[in-house]
Amino acid sequence: DTAVSQTPKYLVTQMGNDKSIKCEQNLGHDTMYWYKQDSKKFLKIMFSYNNKELIINETVPNRFSPKSPDKAHLNLHINSLELGDSAVYFCASSPSTSSYNEQFFGPGTRLTVL
């Protein structure tokens, strides 16, 4: 009964490939997020969806495309992978967009681009 789950946990791929990461939450939350954590542990938000609607889209390359088929799922597709995309990607969710809400994080997906 994991609250926020991500698949896969590890992803190793070649430059130029296309890959997807899936995220699911069973908390009944309305808002979901994608974060990127680089090799220095710095965490930066990439995208956020509220009730399947995109509400935050940071300065992320167009090669990254999030999709939210329903409130419980937020997937991240990455085209033409580059070496600099290597990082840990975290999915998170919160009850709503209210800023005082705690965000619940998934276990992360470690992406390695060779």
Partner 1 sequence: AQSVTQLGSHVSVSEGALVLLRCNYSSSVPPYLFWYVQYPNQGLQLLLKYTSAATLVKGINGFEAEFKKSETSFHLTKPSAHMSDAAEYFCAVSEGDSSYKLIFGSGTRLLVRP
Instruction: Choose which of 7, 19, 45, 67 interacts with partner 1 (CB under 8 A).
Output: 45
4 binds partner 1 (CB under 8 A): yes
Tell me how far apart the alpha carbons of residues 25 and 22 are, in angstroms, rounded to a whole number: 10
Q: How much of the chain is in helix, strand and coil states, percent to nearest 5?
A: 5, 55, 40
66 binds partner 1 (CB under 8 A): no
Q: How near is the Cβ of 23 to partner 1 at its closest, in Å?
A: 11
Tell me how far apart the alpha carbons of residues 38 and 49 are, in angstroms, rounded to a whole number: 22
28: left (phi over 0), alpha (psi -120 to 50) or beta: left
- Binding track, positions 12-31, relative to partner 1; x by CB under 8 A: -------------------x
Of the candidate spans 22-30, 41-49, 62-70, 77-85, the one that interacts with partner 1 by CB under 8 A turns out to be 41-49
Single out the residue of 93, 34, 106, 111 nearest to residue 67, CA to CA: 34
Instruction: Choose which of 28, 40, 70, 84 interacts with partner 1 (CB under 8 A).
Output: 40
**Strand pairing of 104-105 and 87-94?**
antiparallel
| Residues touching partner 1, count (CB under 8 A) | 25
User: Residues in the site for partner 1, rule: CB under 8 A?
Assistant: 4, 31, 40-45, 48, 50, 55-56, 90, 92, 97-100, 102-108
